[in-house]
């Protein structure tokens, strides 16, 4: 077979272990961690799901090596806790039986212990330890690690690695980046020690070296040790790429794979986990440069999900391995699709941060485009229906498309009707905004998958009562979506006004000055787009804060981007009238002010198309409603409800 991506598909030997391709599963925290910090059954299924999809390795994250000084609610591994070793053993087995190499990330958060605690007040009872004493940005005291504690922690890395090997893991990853403890020792910003662990670069690297020596002694020769580091901390006071290369050289004889990431967690979340506002693969240059200075294999990571880009990275020698986390949540089968030349069927990660926002808020794991994530054991698998039924779906947005794909896979006769001339629904408009293009691409890909599953897609077709009664379907799924809210503001129907949903049709009509009316998620993102195009942008919001509908990971990065782009923000300003010059608003003091903008974008939210639901509610024995026509919400909600509606038939 001639592979479209031969370099990406080629096996690689690291240590004494062979890996089936160059696509590695980067660490991402599990979905259920028991009160004893063991791996719950959902988490085992979560990792197994990625192994099934063809990744060369699946890395379990994060195993806290020394709970005495790191009391975060993450995974622990010991011989004293009932089911601790067993849970890791079953997880390693679940990964390995599908051909992937099970790996586990050995971690210590240092002064950022407690990051993932849902009970934030509990942090006050946790001691945060670091290389040097100080105070965190949130006011919490950081204690300096003593020599005795350093020795304990070093030994604990070896102990946990030995237990991981005993459990069946065939590689370990040592987390030495992103501002966690090892990185804190490496960093001149965090490490102010004056003993043998501080000062010179050789001294700052000492702790990492001792940790790696401890692990090697525990696991023996040939057992792969992967070291994850930030190629550069990317902030003033931290180490730069030049020093990152030296760190790599000082440690390379102790490791088998160097995993080059970027940034420091608490000083740049959108760098360590690249947001949609950054290009794909923004960290590759770090791995490329470091690879010139070491003789061991180098991995790169960060917003990688395009097989062509990843193939070029390997083929050109910028890195030997590419690692993905979010991309394998969105589509665990991405590696298998690459290996079998089916890259056009990949469901791409949107970089929307739903997965990480849910982790922080509810201690669960969710994915916008993959309804199975976090629910792997909830009966979400697609199985053939006992009785084939005729299913009519009204609306080909993300919810309707997902429902069509799932229903067709179950063997039902599926008719998918869309009133417009293409599928995708509200996602169609995202094609005109470069950093949101993958949302548009989601609709295109789901449409392709639906067609391949035999769905009868009927475009330019409105499902009304007469049409539904004519089709005589057993089940109707109403996925009619939402309509833009256009309040009766004087002038809002003028020629200089563009409804945000219609922007892709009228992009060439936008003038050099733009007033965006509505500071929700859609308004904020399109304002950023215009600012990046060099336009003068004003963002108007009647309430006191922007984008409360954005998740807690995406929102801060979006607000930073708004500030960075120089967008003029007017909060507590209510739109009263639209004129040729802009929007006349009433400010918080009750005064009228003109906010200039030769083009006005109306982004005042969405409302459910309840009229469609009401018309179709009695047109079949079973009528289901999903997505925005129930309540204007998110792609996540629509995809999940669409999948489940089809499973229930």
pLDDT for 302-342, tens place per residue? 999 999 999 999 999 999 999 999 999 999 999 999 999 99
- From CA 317, how far away is CA 340, in angstroms rounded? 23
Of 413, 406, 423, 410, which Cα lies nearest the Cα of 392? 413
The structure tokens listed for 224 are 């792969």
Query: Whats the size of the chain, residue-wise?
Result: 649
**Is there a contact between 113 and 136 (Cβ–Cβ < 8 Å)?**
no
Residue 145 is given by DSSP the state P
Beta pairing, strands 475-478 & 390-394? parallel
pLDDT at residue 128, as a whole number: 86
Residues forming a β-bridge with 221: none
pLDDT at residue 369, as a whole number: 96
Instruction: Report pLDDT digits (tens) over 523-565.
Output: 999 999 999 999 999 999 999 999 998 999 999 999 999 999 9
Of 378, 379, 373, 380, which Cα lies nearest the Cα of 31? 373
Helix ranges (H only) for 234-377 are: 241-251, 269-272, 284-291, 307-315, 326-330, 334-339, 354-362
- Mean per-residue pLDDT, 81-88: 95
Q: Decide if pLDDT at 244 tops 80.
A: yes
Output 33 or 282, whichever has higher pLDDT.
282
Q: Decide if pLDDT at 58 tops 70.
A: yes
Count CB neighbours of 310 within 10 A.
Answer: 28
pLDDT at residue 124, as a whole number: 63
Q: Decide if pLDDT at 225 tops 80.
A: yes
pLDDT at residue 220, as a whole number: 97
- Mean per-residue pLDDT, 275-296: 96
Instruction: Give Cβ neighbours of residue 561 (< 8 Å, ≥ 6 apart).
Output: 277, 528
Q: Decide if pLDDT at 83 tops 90.
A: yes
In the three-class reduction of DSSP (H, G, I as helix; E, B as strand; rest coil), residue 299 is classed as strand
Count CB neighbours of 601 within 10 A.
Answer: 27
The structure tokens listed for 442 are 């989601």
Q: Decide if pLDDT at 344 tops 80.
A: yes
Instruction: Report pLDDT digits (tens) over 436-486.
Output: 999 999 999 999 999 999 999 999 999 999 999 999 999 999 999 999 999
Q: Decide if pLDDT at 266 tops 80.
A: no
Of 58, 51, 72, which Cα lies nearest the Cα of 25? 58
Instruction: Give Cβ neighbours of residue 381 (< 8 Å, ≥ 6 apart).
Output: 372
Instruction: Report pLDDT digits (tens) over 168-214.
Output: 999 999 999 999 999 999 999 999 999 999 999 999 999 999 999 99
Residue 276 is given by DSSP the state T
pLDDT band at 112; cut points 50, 70, 90: confident
pLDDT at residue 374, as a whole number: 86
Q: Decide if pLDDT at 227 tops 80.
A: yes
Count CB neighbours of 249 within 10 A.
Answer: 14
pLDDT at residue 176, as a whole number: 96
Q: Decide if pLDDT at 627 tops 80.
A: yes
pLDDT at residue 361, as a whole number: 80
- From CA 377, how far away is CA 41, in angstroms rounded? 8
Instruction: Give Cβ neighbours of residue 469 (< 8 Å, ≥ 6 apart).
Output: 619
2-11, 264-273, 354-363: which is most confident:
2-11
- Mean per-residue pLDDT, 34-47: 92
Q: Indicate the domain borders of the chain.
A: 6-362, 390-483+607-647, 497-604
CATH number of 390-483+607-647: 3.40.50.720
> What is the DSSP annotation of 362-400?
HS----SS-TTTT-TTTT-S----SS--EEEEE--SHHH
Of 158, 170, 258, 260, which Cα lies nearest the Cα of 222? 170
CATH says 6-362 is which class? alpha beta
pLDDT at residue 35, as a whole number: 87
pLDDT at residue 491, as a whole number: 95
Alpha carbon dihedral 19, 21, 27, 32, in 10-degree steps, equals: -90
The percentage of the chain sitting over the pLDDT mark of 90, rounded to a whole number, equals 87
pLDDT band at 118; cut points 50, 70, 90: low
pLDDT at residue 117, as a whole number: 64
Of 254, 192, 257, which Cα lies nearest the Cα of 221? 254
Instruction: Report pLDDT digits (tens) over 380-434.
Output: 778 899 999 999 999 999 999 999 999 999 999 999 999 999 999 999 999 999 9
Output 167 or 363, whichever has higher pLDDT.
167
Task: Compute the mean pLDDT over every residue in the chain, rounded to the nearest whole number.
Answer: 94
> What is the DSSP annotation of 471-526?
HT-SEEEE---EEE-----BTTTSTTEEEGGGGGGSGGG--SEEEEE--SHHHHHH
Of 341, 637, 351, 609, which Cα lies nearest the Cα of 483? 609
What is the distance of C-alpha 315 from the center of its chain?
26
Find where tokens 């500071």 sit: 519
- From CA 30, how far away is CA 346, in angstroms rounded? 23
Instruction: Report pLDDT digits (tens) over 121-177.
Output: 666 666 789 999 998 887 888 999 999 999 999 999 999 999 999 999 999 999 999
CATH says 497-604 is which class? alpha beta
- From CA 372, how far away is CA 50, in angstroms rounded? 12
State the first-to-last Cα distance of the chain, in angstroms, to the nearest integer.
39
Q: Decide if pLDDT at 584 tops 90.
A: yes
Q: Assess whether the previous peptide bond of 198 is cis (omega < 30° from 0).
A: no
pLDDT band at 233; cut points 50, 70, 90: very high
**Is there a contact between 299 and 286 (Cβ–Cβ < 8 Å)?**
no
- In terms of Cβ atoms closer than 10 Å to its own Cβ (0-12, 13-18, 19+), residue 556 is middle
pLDDT at residue 125, as a whole number: 63
């Amino acid at each position: 077979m001639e592979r479209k991506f031969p370099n990406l598909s080629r096996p690689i030997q690291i240590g004494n272990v062979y890996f089936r391709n160059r696509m590695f599963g980067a660490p991402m925290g599990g979905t259920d961690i028991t009160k004893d910090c063991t791996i719950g059954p959902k988490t085992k299924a979560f990792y197994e799901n990625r192994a099934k999809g063809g990744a060369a390795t699946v890395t379990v994250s994060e195993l806290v090596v020394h709970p005495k000084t790191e009391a975060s609610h993450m995974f622990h591994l010991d011989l004293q806790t009932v089911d601790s070793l067993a849970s890791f053993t079953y997880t390693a087995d679940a990964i390995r039986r599908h051909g992937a190499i099970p790996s586990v990330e050995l971690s210590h958060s240092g002064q950022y212990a407690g990051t993932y605690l849902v009970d934030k007040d509990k942090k006050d009872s946790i001691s945060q330890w670091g290389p040097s004493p100080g105070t965190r940005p949130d006011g919490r005291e950081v204690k300096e690690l003593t020599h005795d504690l350093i020795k304990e922690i070093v030994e604990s890395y070896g102990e946990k690695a030995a237990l991981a090997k005993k459990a069946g893991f065939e590689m370990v990853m040592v987390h030495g980046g992103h501002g966690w403890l090892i990185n804190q020792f490496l960093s001149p910003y965090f490490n102010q020690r004056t003993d043998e662990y501080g000062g010179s670069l050789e001294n700052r690297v000492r702790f990492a070296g001792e940790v790696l020596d401890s692990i090697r002694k525990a696991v023996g020769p040939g057992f792969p040790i992967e070291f994850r580091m930030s190629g550069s901390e990317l902030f003033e006071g931290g180490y730069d790429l030049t020093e990152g290369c030296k760190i790599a050289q000082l440690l390379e004889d102790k490791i088998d794979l160097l995993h080059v990431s970027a940034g420091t967690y608490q000083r740049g979340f959108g760098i360590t986990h690249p947001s949609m506002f950054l290009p794909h693969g923004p960290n590759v240059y770090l791995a490329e440069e470091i690879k010139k200075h070491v003789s061991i294999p180098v991995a790169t990571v960060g917003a990688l999900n395009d097989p062509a880009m990843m193939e070029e990275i390997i083929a050109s020698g910028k890195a030997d391995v590419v690692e993905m986390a979010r991309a394998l949540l969105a589509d665990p089968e991405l590696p298998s699709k690459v290996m079998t030349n089916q890259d056009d069927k990949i469901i791409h990660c949107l970089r929307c941060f739903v997965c990480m926002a849910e982790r922080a808020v509810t201690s669960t794991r969710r994915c916008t485009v993959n309804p199975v994530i976090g629910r792997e054991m909830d009966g979400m698998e697609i199985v053939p229906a006992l009785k084939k039924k005729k299913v009519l779906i009204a609306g080909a947005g993300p919810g309707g498309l997902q429902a069509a794909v799932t229903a067709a896979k179950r063997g039902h006769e599926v008719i998918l009707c869309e009133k417009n001339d293409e599928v995708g629904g509200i996602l169609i408009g995202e094609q005109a905004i470069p950093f949101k293009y993958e949302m548009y691409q989601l609709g295109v890909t789901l449409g392709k998958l639906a067609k391949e599953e035999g769905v009868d897609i009927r475009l330019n077709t409105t499902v009304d009562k007469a049409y539904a009664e004519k089709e005589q379907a057993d089940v109707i799924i109403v996925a009619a979506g939402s309509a833009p809210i256009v309040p009766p503001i004087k002038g809002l129907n003028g020629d200089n006004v563009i409804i945000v949903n219609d922007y892709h049709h009228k992009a060439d009509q936008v003038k050099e000055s733009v007033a965006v009316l509505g500071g929700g998620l859609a308004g904020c993102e399109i304002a950023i787009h215009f600012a990046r195009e060099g336009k003068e942008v004003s963002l108007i919001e009647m309430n006191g804060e922007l984008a409360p509908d954005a998740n807690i990971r995406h929102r801060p990065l979006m607000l930073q981007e708004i500030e960075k782009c120089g967008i003029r923000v007017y909060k507590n300003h209510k739109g009263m009238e639209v004129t040729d010059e802009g929007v006349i608003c009433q400010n918080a003091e009750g005064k009228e002010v003109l906010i200039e903008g030769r083009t006005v974008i109306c982004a005042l939210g969405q409302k459910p198309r309840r009229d469609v639901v009401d018309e179709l509610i009695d047109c079949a024995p079973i009528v289901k409603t999903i997505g925005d026509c129930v309540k204007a919400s998110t792609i996540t909600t629509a995809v999940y409800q669409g999948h489940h509606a089809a499973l229930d038939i």
